[in-house]
Amino acid sequence: MHKTKSKNKERQLIIIDLDDTLIDTYSFKNIIFDKLALESGLTKKEIEEIYQEIKRKGNKNLLSTFCLEIGNKSNKDKNIFEKTILSAVKTIKINKEVLNFVKKTKGDKILLTQGETKFQKAKIEFLKEKTKIDKILSDIVITKNDKAQFISSKIKRNKFIFKGKSYNTITILDDKLDLFYDLRMYPFIGLIHPKEIE
């Protein structure tokens, strides 16, 4: 069999973040902190402090530990709080400008999000339902580890290799670009902040 050699074939990929990129997680958090305060009897300040403390420790199960901790402090079942968060997912605002930008961008598209599977899945399901984004995505990846680590683990000789496909131009769309600081050494990787689109 002859091997067809494609000369300088450009294969583009955009890697899109979920929280505070495609969806407004900041406002969502504010809503759930209010709801959790009301249900637990703790103050919103206490709720926020619990959240920040768990986050500061770099806990990989941020939201379930958060609910557990609220449960411990209020003597209530953590499941009540998990249910509150999961049902509030339907109130999340979608960042339409970013969504339109992603739709218009050429090449393959991967949604890459870091967090706890259960909660990330709920947000993604909501997003799919509202926007049919799954129709334009090549893949959805939920990672508990660092996103930059995930990306660099797929880089081989100035190419990004993912599921048998090789890409020579990558754009990372993320609200926390400092996470990708170490990837700046690769000239084929570009970074965009969602604020640049809005």
Chain contacts with Mg ion (rule: CB under 5 A): 17, 19-20, 175
Q: How far is the CB of 39 from Mg ion (least distance, A)?
A: 26
Q: What is the spatial distance between Cα 182 and Cα 5, in angstroms, rounded to a whole number? A: 32
Nearer to Mg ion, 82 or 175 (CB): 175
Nearer to Mg ion, 42 or 122 (CB): 122
Per the CB < 8 A criterion, the answer to whether 148 and 179 are in contact is yes
CA 120-126-163 angle, 5° bins: 55
Compute the least distance from the CB of residue 174 to Mg ion, in Å. 6
Give the Cβ contact number of residue 137 at 10 Å: 17
Residue 70: partners with Cβ closer than 8 Å, 6 or more residues away: 36, 40, 42, 47, 50, 76, 78, 81
* Beta carbon of residue 86, minimum distance to Mg ion (angstroms, whole number): 19
> Please, what is the minimum distance in Å from the beta carbon of residue 43 to Mg ion?
27
Between 40 and 116, CB nearer to Mg ion: 116
CB nearer to Mg ion: give 80 or 137: 137
* Residue with smallest beta-carbon separation from Mg ion: 19
